[in-house]
Amino acid sequence: MNQAATSKRKKMGLLLFLTVLQCAISSVNTYSVSNPNVVLLIADDLGIGDLGCYGNRTLRTPHIDRLAKEGVTLTQHIAASPLCTPSRAAFLTGRYPIRSGMAAFSRVGVFLFSASSGGLPSEEITFSKLLKQRGYATALIGKWHLGMNCESNNDFCHHPLSHGFDYFYGLTVTNLRDCKPGQGSVFLKGVQMYLVILIQILGVTAVSLAVVHYVSFFKVPFEALGFCLLITCISLAVLIFFFYHFRHLNCFLMRDHQIIQQPLSYENLTQRLTTEAVRFIERNHNAPFLLVLSYLHVHTALYASKMFRGKSRHGLYGDAVEEMDWSVGMLILGQILDVLENYNLSNRSLVYFSSDQGAHIEEISSSGEVHGGCNGIYKGGKSTNWEGGIRVPGLLRWPGVIHAGTYIDDPTSNMDIFPTIVKLAGAQLPYDRIIDGHDLMPLLQGKVIRSKHEFLFHYCNAYLNAVRWHPRNTYIITGTAELG
């Protein structure tokens, strides 16, 4: 009898211990997924086939590959647009760019000039605004490309600081060939055809007037001939002035609202961006923080520091990819990891790595070198809605919260980051507008096995170009169907 009672007491004690342990674990897990630090790493024009974790065997990306090994790999991660400006607008707002007015009806779908009056509308709600309201320190380092001013050169209505970021260090426009001497021009070929037509029209007009005047068909005032010549000269002068001063007017580095380098220097630029990111985290380790590090790599003009130049097997493009991988290593798995460990923040930090769209596959430098990337087995690239233009890397790492080494094959979108981190921060999703993204945490933690995206819509600027259908209650994932 005594032995039976003793055995029963032991079992009850063990049951009580397991119950307390389960409560403790639940408490820890609840705490770990509340108000995490958020680090979002966005490459520019990086192809899904440029990374080792997505099958590349010749480019060295060990640190990004380690993110995949220690976290979740999204194999069907889709950018909301195959162009920089609309894709980044969708990423920040969780909405298709057509909803926010960031999809152009013209042929050019991105901002090209710092003097442009357009930009991300002030009424749009970004995840940085919502996290800032929840007490997060917020920073954007690197490329913005969503406008700067509205009506004057210092109202900063579209500037990152007007969209929820406490700190900004980077470019308000983008990295262009025109910003780097010797790399050619993205504008010259575009205006060359129109310039030739304009000169031809003006030339034919001037010659025709001169002939008519000479044969005395009717008298043409010399003022008219002089006016045609003047218009031609002024047009040429404006174009020459534009190309000569483009670097100074559009390629500059800012800290908050202040220009600190004009024109932009590419010397050790990636190291400078990485250092700024490290310092931001060190300054804000006592509070939750949001860091968006938006690389200039691998948008042209390509560049790499001396430490990486000529070291890859894929020319300057490969050098740039490997330098970016080094930065990720220094940021997440090197210096900053030490900072996170020192302040017991490692398991409270969600890290996301992706690209704003697929790699450009038609970029040729002025010297004839191919400056495009690899989109793996997928057709097309940047600026197209073929799979190579919109399927991008998607890696998420959060030790202790999401399972390492997991692959998710269901369709996801870069718009999903908005509701994911807003909910993790304890903020409310906006109720006065449609949010097209969906919270990824149930999928990342294995609580569900299907994405909530039944349809994903793909726009070419403001025009619906294709639709991806993921039928409910099936495991079929269709390809992208083009609309006629």
Under a CB-based contact definition with an 8 Å cutoff, are residues 40 and 352 in contact? yes
Long-range contacts, 284-289 (Cβ 8 Å, 24+): 284/137, 285/339, 285/343, 285/345, 286/343, 287/135, 287/136, 287/137, 288/35, 288/36, 288/37, 288/38, 288/131, 288/134, 288/135, 288/136, 288/137, 288/425, 289/37, 289/38, 289/136, 289/137, 289/138, 289/139
First to last CA, the chain: 83
**CA–CA distance, 396 with 75 (Å, rounded to integer):** 12
| Tally of helices (H runs) and strands (E runs) in the chain | 13, 16
The question of whether 145 is a catalytic residue gets the answer yes
CA–CA–CA angle 234, 236, 240 (5° rounding): 115
Under a CB-based contact definition with an 8 Å cutoff, are residues 443 and 437 in contact? no
- For residue 429, give Cα distances in angstroms to 33, 53, 355, 433, 439: 17, 33, 24, 9, 11
SS (H, E, C) 232-260: HHHHHHHHHHHHHHHHHHHCCEEECCEEE
The catalytic position among 63, 77, 145, 163 is: 145
Q: Pairing state of beta strands 253-255 and 167-171?
A: antiparallel
The catalytic position among 53, 63, 84, 460 is: 84
Q: Catalytic amino acids? A: 84, 145
